[in-house]
Amino acid sequence: MKYDVIVVGAGLAGLVATTELADAGKKVLLIDQEPEASLGGQAWWSFGGLFLVNSPEQRRMGIKDSLELAWQDWLGSAGFDRQEDEDYWGRKWAEAYVNFAAGEKREWLYSLGIRFFPVVGWAERGGYLAEGHGNSVPRFHIVWGTGPGIVKPFETKMRKAIENSLVDYRPRHRVNELIMDNNAVIGVRGEVLIPSSAARGEASSRDVIGDFEFHAQAVVVTSGGIGGNHELIRQNWPSRLGEAPKNMISGVPEHVDGRMLTITEKAGGRIVNKDRMWHYTEGIKNWDPVWAKHGIRILPGPSSVWLDATGNRFPAPNFPGFDTLGTLEAIQKTGYDYSWFILTQKIIEKEFALSGSEQNPDLTGKSLKKVLSRILPGPTSPVKAFMDKGEDFIIADTLPELVARMNKLTGHNLLNLADIERQIVARDRELDNAFTKDLQITALRSARKYIGDKLIRVASPHKILDPSKGPLIAVRLNIVSRKTLGGLQTDLSGRVLDSAGNPVPGLYAAGEVSGFGGGGMHGYRSLEGTFLGGCLFTGRQAGRSLAEELK
């Protein structure tokens, strides 16, 4: 088969670009270093959250959203401050994406058979002024079927294109070089890795059994970010977030290593915003790991008392679910790379969800009966498994026992019972009135005015030390690596730009490797539901633009 385009990386962005090109009648070679079991990349593992603006789901929940409000929130979160250079294209991609999320995004996904859970989630609530970081309204739409439900339509289209001889998919092909001719990219060169039976996410062999060289009119790089490469994360860690964590767990498999960024840079592509990244603060070690240092993120409701490693409550607005990077900065500046939740059984029943398709079998399996069981007493079965088996969870009937076991878990003996008790008693005392100066309690009461939060997300405000709401629970929270917000700078067609701002002929990029568009469409912060959306949008744009160019 003679190829029109080579796509490097079989994650979501790669699948979307491939299927868009195949729909236009182009012949595509799709290659990936991992086994076929890992088709779909990180999207498959995701919770399946998508950022939509003024959707029917929002309107049914009584949410009044608009393009103008969404763009206000995006700008307040992104904080673009390099607009004449590194942020120039990122901002343009951001504006195009927000328009897409408020326009044809949902209709396009609906045409592919993708459906949404009816309750819209409220992620990244901010807690600052109107023009600051955060979502002013709930916008987190969970795909019915979670991550696999997003991947499936594009995998189906790809396999149909394979049957029609439009796509050639070759796993276990690791690219080492982009082939250049007269300053244009004309193909890829690399090594064939030994076949592997490794399951999705597991480490696969790097033994080489051959080499390859393929040529095409263009190459699209869709190889993901650096989330599995802790050394590279630490090299690029921004000083504004304090010292890089000495201990970190991984929200992505080891093969998310960023090697194609360096390879593309050698071919003339420019990487921008290297210091922008997105890591979660509510990570717990997976008791049943798939990859090395496998971490799961808690998707917390807003009620847990959040303490630093020395037992001091974080100041506003560092509450669960409000400002991921703001809290990351606060944690790292304590000199420790972990923190604590203290909560009750009533809070964990209502507020704890775990990120990832495998941690939400009811939504992933599209079981309405199992989803409805979430309203019953008790935590979900995945959360209960972590309570029983996870090393980061402590359950006790009294605060003295809880604090003693927290100190024992870390071995640091940093926590003082009297200090923690004083803070919790003070917090509980604020619940005796309808008035309060505790902004977290104000936030709880406000959240429950949204029917979605009241039904399934936010516990009725109560005293932490009320025995009837117990037992008490402490959770040690680790930093969990996740997303690269910078990357290859691209124009709105997905063409990779060089250091002079000119397109590198024959070279395109999409997905996380391009900072989800332009080398960083998120700026400094994400509004959530925008990583999968960024892969969808950039893959679609690159595929359609390239198909048009090759007519």
- What string of H, E and C letters represents the secondary structure of 20-48? HHHHCCCCEEEEECCCHHHCEHHHHHCCC
* pLDDT higher than 80, residue 376: no
Q: So what's the pLDDT on residue 46?
A: 97
Residue 370's pLDDT band, with cuts at 50, 70 and 90, is: confident
In this structure, which amino acid lies at residue 430?
A: E
Q: So what's the pLDDT on residue 373?
A: 80
Q: Radius of gyration (Cα) for the chain, nearest Å?
A: 23
**236 CB-side CA count, 13 A:** 23
Which of 180, 16, 88 minimizes the C-alpha distance to 515? 88
Do you find a cis peptide bond into 238, omega within 30 degrees of 0?
no
The span from the CA of 193 to the CA of 203, in Å, is 13
Q: What is the mean pLDDT of residues 293-297?
A: 97
Residue 152's pLDDT band, with cuts at 50, 70 and 90, is: very high
Percent of the chain surpassing pLDDT 90: 97
Cβ-proximal residues to 292 (8 Å cutoff; 6+ apart), any chain: 203, 250, 254
Q: What SS3 state is found at 260?
A: helix
Q: What is the mean pLDDT of residues 88-101?
A: 98
* pLDDT higher than 90, residue 294: yes
162-211 per-position pLDDT tens digit: 999 999 999 999 999 999 999 999 999 999 999 999 999 999 999 999 99
Burial (Cβ within 10 Å: 0-12, 13-18, ≥19) of residue 1: exposed
Which of 243, 192, 189 minimizes the C-alpha distance to 219? 189
Cβ-proximal residues to 263 (8 Å cutoff; 6+ apart), any chain: 175, 176, 177, 178
Q: What SS3 state is found at 78?
A: helix
Tokens of 241: 């977030």
278-289 per-position pLDDT tens digit: 999 999 999 999
Give ∠ CA 128-134-136 in degrees, rounded to 5: 90
Q: So what's the pLDDT on residue 371?
A: 85
| Helix, strand, coil content of the chain in percent (nearest 5) | 35, 20, 40
* pLDDT higher than 80, residue 229: yes
Q: What is the mean pLDDT of residues 544-548?
A: 98
Q: What SS3 state is found at 55?
A: coil
* pLDDT higher than 90, residue 317: yes
* pLDDT higher than 80, residue 414: yes
The span from the CA of 515 to the CA of 487, in Å, is 4
> What rounded mean pLDDT belongs to the chain?
97
* pLDDT higher than 90, residue 368: no
* pLDDT higher than 80, residue 530: yes
Q: Taking the model in full, what pTM does it have? A: 0.97
Q: What is the mean pLDDT of residues 49-63?
A: 98
106-136 per-position pLDDT tens digit: 999 999 999 999 999 999 999 999 999 999 9
Give ∠ CA 237-326-450 in degrees, rounded to 5: 140
Which of 58, 68, 121, 65 minimizes the C-alpha distance to 99? 68
- Sign of the torsion formed by the C-alpha atoms of 530, 240, 89 and 185: negative
Backbone angles phi, psi at 143, to 5 degrees: -70, 135
Q: What SS3 state is found at 95?
A: helix
